[in-house]
Structure 1
Amino acid sequence: MSGIFSGGGDLGSTVDLVPIIIFDTVAALATVSLALTLAPAALSSTVHRSKAWLSMITTMMIFPLFYLLNASSQFQNKESPPIGLCILQAGFIYAGPPACTTAVLCFLTDMTLGLRSMLYNGKRSKCFSSALVIIPSILFASVFFEAIALVNADRGVHFDSAHMFCESNADGPQVKISALLTVVSLFLTLCMEGWAVVIIARNWSAVRRIRRTKADLQLSVMVRFGVFTLVVGVAAVLGAVTLPDNVAGGASWNIFLVAVPLFAALAFGTRRDIMSTYAFWNWSKKSYPKTLNDVAV
């Protein structure tokens, strides 16, 4: 998400290598962790997740990869890498944050509607559920091509002040569009999460009964999601603070913000069925029921 909020193209005469190495390591670790989270759900017959969950994890996984596009140029004491690659990375970075937060929103919406449908014996629209899966991809493509067009028009692309990734001028419309979409989707996510809490509170006795049946709705999922949403919110606030002033210490903010997908891996990849997929010494003993919690989250 840091591509939205960083500014400045002044590199000075030297490049500080340590923050760049940490930044690249965190981005690579986040990508690998989310890949390991996604693999069991995509390949294993014992791990079941919704399509909205798969969409969210996939979006989160490819996001930190975009920061590594110019890894070979970060350590060179030059203003920017080749213009084509720099514009491409800037487009990816501006499209990533709104796509990620929208994917989170769609997943939470899918989970909340599933909870409401189960508690009130309602039916869910298959078309709407399918839309929740493809909306993040549509938004990503739209913002990406918009950002590419705007960045390419003014040629104002350069390395950020910490020499970690390519960005455009902080006052460009692509920056404002990406930031606005990210904040709006994050706000809607908080509203949706509040609605889920209200539904659970109003039907607490029913929820407790459901937890004792084969459906096995685990409220720990809501706690995990709440913690992750808080992390995303903190990242957005920190980014908003750096936007107008381009404060010193941008490298630290960049490292924290690119670590947000890593928090997603910790929140959603530490479930028992996913972790046990990699417990090769216990494969012969594994037999997990297909629960609502597994299917929905």
Structure 2
Amino acid sequence: MASLTSGNASNGTTLVNIVHGTEPELVLFLVLNMWPSHFGLPILLAIILLSKRVRRHPTFVNLCVGFIIIGVASSVLLYAGKTTGDEPPKLLCLIQASLLYGVPAFASLLAFMLVLQMFFAVRSAVQKQVAQGPQTFRLWAMLGTPYLALLISILATATVGSANPDTVSRNRRYFYCSVESPLLSGTIAAFGAVFLFATIVFEVWTLVILYKNWMVVRQPGAKPRVIVELSLPIRVLAFGLYVIMAMSLSLLSMKAPESPVPDLVIACAATVVILIFATQPDIIRAACFWRKEPELTFPTTGTTQQLNSKV
């Protein structure tokens, strides 16, 4: 471990390791980032894009693509063979730091857009609104805003790091490169907190809509206005809850970053996506393409398929 805390002798500065991680935790961090981004999520995306039986809203596809990008960015030092030992070259370190400092805003917005789309879909189903044509501006705004936030974060971090190269290091955060700048970290934390709060608001709002509709269905002698298939909304809301918890830990770690737990919890995000969404029945049926589709013995309303296509 001495090589991880010894600093960079070439520029005469001592780089303090503020995250108290271990080598097994470093391996775990890399595995959690690499297996879903290099294997799990590409397979899930291939099933969604190539199967005629699976429909998902572009915000969900965007979420998968986003976490592939995050996993690749987290693995940059491994590609270069610089996860341990002497400090990586400053340019390489700044590239990774710039990418990863965009993750709080990027991931928060990806999750927020998915939860927001779930809210629109559930509200439309409960109110039995007539299907509307494609809302192109709203769709592109929901897809593009996370990447705009990522780009702004990358440029801001690169500017700060270039102006203060001594603040750029790997040893400071142990798992990845970072830039020591309280102003930059505080701005990122504030931005992420805004969208975490917005995610909570729409999660609660969606739950209220589902609860009210569920109570209508359960009332004795009452005719239900609509039956909403709850599997997908519950999965989306569960993922939103996980993101809120994980990003909150990440933002708190900027104030008390000694523990490696926040970084490891964030690294689990892509795995959580796969566990929650890749276990949906239509995904499993599409993945098991060699199995014969079972014949339905009862009529279906298409509610599940409509909700899946809207989220």
TM-score (norm 2): 0.79
Please give the root-mean-square deviation of Cα atoms over the aligned residues, in Å: 2.7
- Alignment partner, residue 26 of structure 1: 32
* Structure-2 separation of matches of 1:287 and 1:82: 60
Letter of the 2:309 partner, please give it. Answer: V
For residues 115-126 of structure 1, what are the structure 2 equivalents within 5 Å?
115-120=122-127, 121=129, 123=132, 125-126=135-136
Q: 2:287 aligns with which of 274, 278, 282?
A: 278
**What secondary structure, in the 3-state scheme, does the structure 2 residue paired with 1:218 have?**
coil
- Alignment partner, residue 233 of structure 1: 244
Post-superposition offset of 1:287: 8.7
* Structure-1 separation of matches of 2:106 and 2:83: 29
* Structure-1 separation of matches of 2:210 and 2:40: 31
How many percent of aligned residue pairs carry the same amino acid? 19
Distance 1:9 1:272, change over 3 A: farther
TM-score (norm 1): 0.83
For residues 123-134 of structure 1, what are the structure 2 equivalents within 5 Å?
123=132, 125-134=135-144
Say if 2:55 is the partner of 1:45: no
* Structure-2 separation of matches of 1:200 and 1:76: 49
Letter of the 1:279 partner, please give it. Answer: C
For residues 48-63 of structure 1, what are the structure 2 equivalents within 5 Å?
48-63=55-70
* Structure-1 separation of matches of 2:253 and 2:149: 25
Say if 2:85 is the partner of 1:77: yes
* Structure-2 separation of matches of 1:22 and 1:96: 19
Distance 1:188 1:286, change over 3 A: same
Say if 2:307 is the partner of 1:293: yes
For residues 201-225 of structure 1, give each alpha carbon's deviation from its aligned partner in whole angstroms, at most 9, with x where no partner exists.
33333796643xxxxx421222222
Structure with larger Rg = 2
* Structure-1 separation of matches of 2:85 and 2:168: 16
In structure 2, the gaps of 5 or more residues are 1-13, 219-223, 297-301
How many residue pairs end up in the alignment?
278
For residues 76-225 of structure 1, what are the structure 2 equivalents within 5 Å?
76-78=84-86, 80-120=87-127, 121=129, 123=132, 125-155=135-165, 156-161=167-172, 163-171=174-182, 173-204=183-214, 205=216, 210-211=226-227, 217-225=228-236
Moved over 6 A (4+): 286-290
Letter of the 1:64 partner, please give it. Answer: G
Tell me which of the two structures has the higher relative contact order, counting C-alpha pairs closer than 8 angstroms and 6 or more residues apart: 1
Tell whether the 8 Å contact from 2:125 to 2:226 is kept in structure 1 after alignment. no
* Structure-2 separation of matches of 1:133 and 1:245: 33
- Alignment partner, residue 242 of structure 1: 253
Tell whether the 8 Å contact from 1:46 to 1:287 is kept in structure 2 after alignment. no
Q: 2:264 aligns with which of 255, 264, 269?
A: 255
Post-superposition offset of 1:43: 1.9
For residues 169-219 of structure 1, give each alpha carbon's deviation from its aligned partner in whole angstroms, at most 9, with x where no partner exists.
152x332222222211111011011111222233333796643xxxxx421
